[in-house]
Amino acid sequence: MASLKIWRAIEESPWGALPSMGPQWMIKSCTNNQGYLAMVTDGCGLWGEKRNAKYILEQAEVWSPCLESGSKEISDLALAELTKPSVKAVWTDNRESVTLSISSELHGFSYRWEFELKRLSDELFNHHWVTPMLVQVQQLASRVNQLTTEVEHKRRQLDELLPDNKSPASKAPKPPRIKTT
């Protein structure tokens, strides 16, 4: 479960909020006809679950015999419920795993689903969380520097256009520069 290759399919999926677990929790997932991948993080660790289509169809039969659909549709339905506040989380094994339980209705029929996410390796955490965050911070710092340069340019233009250097911009303090390496 710790192989980067296994989890490659989820790389491009966006992170989204997981409100039932608190504001710091994020989730991302992907589905296809072979099954689904789901990851959650609190910024300190990473937990994930990978399930194949056979498991999904078997569990759909156990939890709700009324669900007659393909594994992708069932996965999409269950994963969409994870973003709602009604998800129940139960931690086990000193935060090595978490079970996320959902229950909802589809066309008047009740169903349940349980996700059993296991703690993923530090290598996966670095690959799917730390590195993308550092890249994002670097890009944001570059954008802030670009915008600061544009503001300074506009300030100089105002100073040149207004008589006697009495522009309000010339009296404003200069914003701090963010160093990027």
pLDDT of residue 173: 63
pLDDT of residue 52: 93
- Assess whether pLDDT exceeds 90 at residue 104: no
Q: pTM of the entire structure?
A: 0.72
Q: Give the Cα separation of 47 and 10 in Å (integer).
A: 13
Residues 67, 13, 87, 90, CA torsion sign? positive
Residue-wise pLDDT for 55-101, tens only, equals 988 888 877 766 667 778 888 888 888 888 889 999 997 899 999 99
What tokens appear for 120 in the block?
């993923």
Residue-wise pLDDT for 125-165, tens only, equals 988 888 888 888 999 999 999 999 999 999 999 988 887 65
- pLDDT tier for residue 1 given thresholds of 50, 70 and 90: very low
What are the phi and psi torsion angles at 83 (to 5°)?
A: -85, 0
Q: Which of the pair, 42 or 60, is modelled with greater confidence?
A: 42
pLDDT of residue 2: 47
pLDDT of residue 78: 86
Q: Give the Cα separation of 13 and 36 in Å (integer).
A: 12
Q: Which of the pair, 83 or 173, is modelled with greater confidence?
A: 83
Q: Give the Cα separation of 146 and 153 in Å (integer).
A: 11
- Domains of the chain, by residue range, sit at 8-120, 126-171
Share of the chain above pLDDT 90, in %: 39
Of 41, 57, 40, nearest to 49 by C-alpha is 40
Is 3.10.310.10 the CATH number for 8-120? no
Share of the chain above pLDDT 70, in %: 86
Q: Give the Cα separation of 125 and 122 in Å (integer).
A: 5
